[in-house]
Amino acid sequence: PVLDALGWSRMPQQSMPNNLGTRKRPDYCLFTSPKDFIIAAEADPPTLFRISATVLEAKMWGHPLARLSKEATPGWFPSQQIQDYLNHAKDAGGKRFFNWAILTNGKEWRLYTDRSSVGAYFSFHLVRDTEFCSLDDFRLFCALFRSRAFERSEDGSCFLDQVREQS
């Protein structure tokens, strides 16, 4: 429901081809338009990633994002999965498919970009303990994680790139 409210069309992991070039498939490929989603549903792996606005790795509610995974991805930190997706999100010529990726456990939402140092991210706490964020903070969350924030202009940049450059 949160992704729907943020304007995303999404393809879950089980609908993706196995040979994406990464060690593991992301939980979701996200699309800024239903048209892109329809095209991606019939696409080969490079085209699927090229059409995706980003990928999202969703952990169990409240799963600590700074702890090694023991079951689904043994020995990996969730952030390593995101970095792996970003590292492989390019074509054979090195052109990037997308520059941003999302990691969440429902309570905490993180944005990662290939344009920062490894391990750097922006973190937003939608819920802390049992308390939901303030209305102003929720508006910020919506602005940063909505599908429109990832829409690329002709030069390949998006709203998030502009925010990062100004911070």
CA distance 96 to 115: 11
Which pLDDT does position 19 carry in this prediction?
56
Which pLDDT does position 141 carry in this prediction?
97
Q: Phi then psi for 62, rounded to 5 degrees?
A: 75, 0
Q: Which of 8, 129, 20 minimizes the C-alpha distance to 58?
A: 8
The pTM score is: 0.91
CA distance 66 to 138: 23
- The two tokens of residue 130 are 């049992």
pLDDT tens track of the chain, all 167 residues?
A: 899 999 999 998 765 555 555 567 789 999 999 999 999 988 887 788 889 999 999 998 988 898 887 776 778 889 888 988 888 888 778 888 889 999 999 999 999 998 887 778 999 999 998 899 999 999 999 999 999 999 999 988 999 999 999 88
Helix (H) or strand (E) holding 125: strand 122-125
Which pLDDT does position 17 carry in this prediction?
55
